[in-house]
């Protein structure tokens, strides 16, 4: 598994986001985990919608355009739920529930990504 480091509006969000960019890693995502201990979240690309079937904890979901701009934020998505498709999204960031509010992530804000070492 490889990781991505992220900033939001120039501030570090974390250095250990799961990089889910092939069919297997995108389907797996955070499934099978009890929590996000040891990671900052998951970066899923390409992605326009997510589900939380078989997940054990709620998450915040951030839909991102190709240029890193936030399209939409879903707070506290509970296990067993789905999101609607965001056609303009190119990727999704999954965070611990409540973290998007703590970081004040808003539509129109900008993420930057780098591969973590």
Return the pLDDT at 116: 63
The pLDDT > 90 percentage for the chain reads 71
Would you give the end-to-end CA distance of the chain in angstroms? 12
Return the pLDDT at 117: 55
Residue 89 contacts residue 48 (beta carbons within 8 Å): yes
Average pLDDT over residues 93-104: 96
Average pLDDT over residues 77-101: 96
Quickly state the pLDDT bin for 31 (edges 50, 70, 90): low
1-10, 68-77, 85-94: least confident range? 1-10
Does residue 104 register a pLDDT over 60? yes
Name the residue with tokens 């490889």. 2
Does residue 110 register a pLDDT over 70? yes
In order, the DSSP letters of the chain are --EEEEEETTEEEEEEEEEE-SHHHHHHTTTT-SS-TT-SEEEESS-S--B-TT-SS-EEEEEE-TTSBEEEEEEEEPTT-BPPP-TT--EEEEEETTHHHHTT--TT-BEEEEE--
Closest CA to 94 of 116, 111, 77, 109: 77
Average pLDDT over residues 25-30: 71
| Predicted confidence (pLDDT) per residue in 36-87, tens digit | 888 999 999 999 999 998 889 999 999 999 999 999 999 999 999 999 999 9
**Domains located in the chain, CATH noted:** 3-84+107-115 (2.60.120.1140)
Does residue 30 register a pLDDT over 80? no
């Amino acid at each position: 598994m490889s990781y991505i480091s992220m900033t939001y509006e120039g501030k570090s969000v974390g250095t250990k986001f799961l990089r889910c960019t092939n069919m297997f890693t995108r389907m797996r995502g955070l499934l099978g985990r009890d929590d996000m201990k040891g990671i900052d979240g998951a970066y899923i690309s390409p992605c326009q919608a997510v589900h939380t079937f078989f997940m054990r904890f709620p998450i915040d979901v951030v839909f991102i355009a190709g240029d890193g701009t936030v399209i939409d934020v879903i707070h506290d998505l509970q296990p067993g739920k789905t999101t609607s498709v965001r056609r303009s999204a190119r990727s999704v960031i999954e965070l611990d529930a409540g973290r998007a509010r703590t970081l004040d992530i808003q539509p129109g804000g900008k993420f930057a990504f780098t591969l973590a070492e």
